[in-house]
């Protein structure tokens, strides 16, 4: 091989290697630079098992859940200032309003017809692994509830789940709670005895975000 031929061969190799990025980029996209994936949380994350609690909390199979009922950040549709809990019982959503025009939205289960409450209140008390006191009316119609006239201790079978927010109105207990659930399939449904229930992972998340004194609005009308 002559010096001239060797030089041409080296130039050809350099030209080919230098052209590789353009060639590979052309394989990825035919219309310009490759778009980067948005830096947003993966919908449905945060629903794994929790083993750091006094009782283990089972994972939620998010594949069996309508995605709209999974915890997510959305534009605030409520008109309320940041830091307010708004429950849309018609659409089965709970919003925690945030700064910047956004809200954290959670799917909820709500009360059956005739067992619903609405109005404005505040979070008067917060409790981890709360004791459940079934109302007298419930004990009269439900043999299981009747077993606990002095209240059911907190635990994995307790209907309130791992956390509860107690609502008061004008200084008086409304007997209305926002709490976890032993029936994750009830989220998105109207089947409770009046209170608002969330996935256990979601009530823990909400509990950690809101202080005592947080304003709560419960609406029977759909929020756009």
Looking at the annotation, which residues are catalytic?
A: 179, 195
- Cite the beta strand spans of the chain per DSSP E: 72-75, 85-88, 93-97, 102-107, 110-111, 119-128, 163-169, 172-179, 190-192, 196-197, 215-219
Taking each continuous run of H as one helix and of E as one strand, the counts in the chain are 4, 11
- Give the contacts of 178 (CB within 8 A, at least 6 positions apart): 85, 87, 94, 164, 165, 167, 195, 196, 197, 198, 203, 206, 216
Close Cβ partners of 148 (under 8 Å, ≥ 6 residues apart)? 132, 133, 134, 139
- Are the C-beta atoms of 108 and 195 separated by less than 8 Å? no
């Amino acid at each position: 091989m002559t010096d001239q031929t060797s030089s041409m061969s080296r130039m050809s190799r350099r030209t080919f290697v230098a052209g590789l990025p353009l060639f590979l980029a052309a394989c990825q996209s035919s219309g310009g630079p490759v778009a980067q994936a948005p830096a947003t949380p993966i919908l449905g994350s945060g629903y794994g098992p929790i083993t750091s609690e006094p009782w283990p909390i089972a994972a939620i199979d998010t594949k069996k859940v309508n995605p709209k009922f999974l915890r997510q950040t959305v534009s605030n549709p409520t008109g309320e200032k940041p830091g307010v809990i708004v429950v849309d019982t018609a659409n089965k959503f709970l919003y925690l309003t945030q700064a910047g025009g956004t809200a954290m939205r959670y799917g909820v289960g709500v009360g059956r017809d005739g067992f619903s409450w609405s109005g404005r209140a505040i979070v008067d008390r917060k409790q981890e692994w709360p004791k459940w006191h079934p109302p007298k009316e419930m004990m009269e119609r439900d043999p299981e509830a009747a077993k606990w006239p002095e209240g059911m201790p907190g635990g994995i079978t307790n209907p309130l789940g791992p956390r509860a927010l107690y609502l008061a109105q004008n200084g008086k207990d409304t007997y209305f709670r926002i709490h976890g659930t032993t029936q994750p399939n009830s989220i998105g449904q109207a089947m409770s005895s009046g209170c608002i229930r969330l996935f256990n992972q979601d009530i823990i998340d909400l509990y950690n975000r809101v202080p005592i004194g947080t304003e709560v609005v419960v609406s029977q009308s759909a929020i756009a």
